A and B are shown apart, each in its own frame.
Chain A
C-alpha cells in the first residue's frame, strides 16, 4: 500500500522532470516490482509486457482509426463541416464558436482521438473566428472543448482501451457513446450562448455568411456516410469493430482520393504520422501495464476495495467519490495513462457495487455505463489546468495566445462538462438507451 503511494509520487516527480510519461511508468513500475520481489523477476516482466502488449488483436483498431482520421484531415472534410455549420449559425452572436463545436462533433464521428480533432479543427475554425473579431479565449476554448468530443462520439481510442481492460464489448461501448456525445454538443452550445450573453464583448453579434460549395456538401455527406457505415456495420452485426476500422480506413482513403488533393507525399506522411502516433500510444500502454502490475502486486486495488466496502455507503455516493477523484487526477495526469492506471484499480470496485433494481441491476450495463463516465471525466481532464492536453495542442498551433487566456476561455465549457457528468450519473439510461 505505502509502496504504491511512493510509486505514484516517484512517477509524478519524473514526469515533472520532463521524463516522457510512458518511460516514467516503465521506470517506476520496474523498480517498484523489483523492490517488492527481485530484479530478475522485474526485468523478465518488462520484457514479456513489451512483447505481449504489442501483439494484441483488439488493439489493432487503434492505428486503423488513427489512419482514418489522418486521411480525412487531408481530404479537407473538416473545412466542409465548419463551412456548413458556419452558414447555418452565422446570424447568432457567438455563431462561429457554435459552428466550431458542431464541426468538432461532426469530425469526432470519424476521428478516434480528441487531440487530432482539436488539432484539425483549430486549423479551419480559428482563422475564421479571428477574422470575425472573436475573443481568443472564446475561440480557443470552443475548439479545445469541442475537440474532447473525439473520444466520446464513436469511434474512440479511449473506449477501445477501456474495452480491452474490462473485456466489455467495444461495439456496445461505441453505441453507448452516441447520445452522451450529442448531449455534449448541446451543452457546449449552451455554454457559448451563456458566455456571450454574460459577456457580449467575446463575440460580434453576427458574422458574414459563408457560401456553402458543392465540395462542402460532398464533404459533409462523406463524413455522414462513413459514420453510418461504421456504426450501422457494428450495430447491425455486419462487422466486428476491427473490421469496421479496416473498412473505415479504406473508405476514408477513397474519400480522400475523390475529394482531390491527395498526393503520394501526403499519403506517405499520413501513414508515417499514424505509425508514430501508434508507437507513442503503445509505449504508454506498455508503461501502464508495467506500472499497474507493480501497484496490483503491492496490494493497492485490494486495499481500496476493502476500504470502500467497509464504509458501507450507497453505490451512488461511491460513484461521486470516484468521479471527484477522477476530476482531481485529471487535472495532473495525461488522459491515456489516467485510464490505464485507474480503471484496473476502480473497475473491480464499481462492479461490486449494488445500484438497485433499475437498468444498472445488469452488471454488463454497469460496465458500459462506467466506461462512458470514465470517458467524460477524461474529456474534462483534457481541458483542465495545469495539464490539459487539448489546450496544449491549440497552444502549439497558436503560439501567440497565452495559456491563461486559453484556460479562461475553457471555463464555461468546463462547467457544461460538470453538468453533463452529473446528468449522465443521475440518468444512466441516457448512455444505455440505444443498447
Chain B
C-alpha cells in the first residue's frame, strides 16, 4: 500500500531530509514493506492548506503548523506556542506530544485525520536591527514579523507593531526596512539568510514563544490499514517522531548558533526585567487560554504546568 505525503518545505530543508524522509523509511521497514510512503516533489497546495489536504483525502499524509490558519480548531494545541516551554526542541517536543496527545486529547481536535506526530522547534528568540532590548520599554514601536497566534498577541502587549507575512518574504521586507526584526529560533537566521540585516538576537529562557507542528494521515486511509500495520506505524511515530524531530531542530539551532557567532550579531540573554515583563503578559494570556480550554472540559493550567515540569523550566 502506497501512502502519498504532500510536503511544502523546500526539498533540502532538514525537516524533509532528516525527519520526513527517515520517518517514511521507518514506516516501510516497520511494516516490512507492506506500507510505503511517497513524498511528492511538489506540494498539492499552499502551506496553510496542508491540514485539510489530509483531512479531505487529497493527500494521505501531511505535516504543518497549527497556527497556519486562524480558526476555531486546535485551541488546545496552543499549549505548544507559549513562552518558557523548553530550552531544547527535543525536550519540548517530547513533552508536547506527551501532554497534548495525552491529557488534552489532541486526537479529538484533529478531526478527519489520524494524528501521527507532534513536535515544536527550538526556543523562539527575538531578533532585530534597531536596538538591544535592555528594558521592556525598548520593545516599544518596533516593527516585528511574527507568525501570528500567541506571539503576535504577546508582542502587541509589549507595544510592538506586528506584521504578518510568509517566512519566505522576511528577507525582502527586512532588507527594505518594512520590518525591524523577527521572532524565529536560532537556525532561521542562517536558513533565511538574515544575518546581514539583524544586529541583536535576544534569548529568553525556555523560549519567548514556540511553534507547534503536526503530522497527520487521512482518517479513512488509516482505518483501511491492518491492525498490525497500524501498531507498527504508531511505534515509529508519536513519541519517537517527537524525539527525532526535536533532535533535528536542536542540531539546526546549534549549527545556526556557530554560524551566527562568526557574524556581527550580538547574541545575549534577556535581562531579568525583560523576562519579568514577558512573564507578566504570558501569565495573563495563559490564564485566558486556560479559561477557554476549561469550557471544552479540559484542565489547561494543569497541562501547562505538567509540560513545564517535564522540560524542567518550571520555577
Contacts and interface: CB of A to CB of B under 8 A. Distances in A.
Whether chain A touches chain B in the assembled complex (some CB pair under 8 Å): yes
Interface of A: 37-38, 40-41, 44-45, 48-49, 52, 57-58, 167, 169, 171, 237-241, 243, 292-293, 296-297, 301-302, 305, 344, 348
Nearest to A44: B56
Nearest to A165: B42
B166 A296 contact: no
5 contacts: A41-B56, A41-B58, A48-B45, A52-B48, A240-B172
Given A38-B57, A301-B42, 9 more contacts: A52-B49, A167-B168, A169-B172, A238-B176, A240-B172, A240-B173, A240-B176, A241-B172, A297-B4
Nearest to A36: B4
Contact of B10 (A45, A167, A241): A167
B225 interface: no
A52 B42 CA distance: 16
B172 A45 contact: no
B178 interface: yes
Give the size category of B's interface with A.
20 to 34
A48 B58 contact: yes
A48 B52 contact: yes
B297 interface: no
B172 A171 contact: yes
A237 B175 CA distance: 7
Interface in B118-171: 165-166, 168-169, 171
Contacts of B11: 348
A52 B86 CA distance: 35
Given A41-B56, A45-B58, A48-B58, A57 B45 contact: no
A302 B45 CA distance: 18
B41 interface: yes
Which 4 residue pairs across A and B have the least CB separation, nearest first?
A: A296-B42, A44-B56, A301-B41, A41-B58
The DSSP consensus for interface residues of chain B is loop
Contacts of A348: 11, 41
B40 interface: yes
Interface string B38-70: 001110111011001100111000000000000
Given A52-B46, A240-B178, A302 B41 contact: yes
Nearest to A45: B58
Contacts of A344: 41-42
Contact of B45 (A38, A52, A237): A52
Contacts of B178: 240
Nearest to B45: A48
B42 A57 contact: no
A49 B45 CA distance: 7
Contacts of B4: 297
A237 B42 contact: no
A418 to B, nearest CB: 31
Given A40-B57, A297-B4, A48 B49 contact: yes
Contacts of A45: 44-45, 58
A41 B176 contact: no
A169 B52 CA distance: 29
A2 B178 CA distance: 48
A293 B49 CA distance: 14
Contact of B40 (A57, A240, A241, A297): A297
Contacts of B165: 57
A292 B42 contact: yes
B169 A57 contact: yes
Contacts of A48: 45, 49, 52-53, 58
A44 B53 CA distance: 9
Interface string B228-247: 00000000000000000000
Nearest to A46: B58
A292 B43 CA distance: 10
A239 B172 CA distance: 9
Contact of A237 (B10, B53, B169, B176): B176
Contact of B176 (A167, A239, A292): A239
A44 B45 CA distance: 11
Contacts of B48: 52
Contacts of B45: 45, 48-49, 52
Interface string B80-123: 00000000000000000000000000000000000000000000
B190 to A, nearest CB: 14
- Give the interface centre of A44, A49, A301, A305 by most chain B CB atoms within 10 Å: A44
B40 A296 contact: yes
A41 B10 CA distance: 24
B175 to A, nearest CB: 6
Contacts of A239: 176
A296 B41 contact: yes
A48 B44 CA distance: 10
Nearest to A170: B172
A371 to B, nearest CB: 16
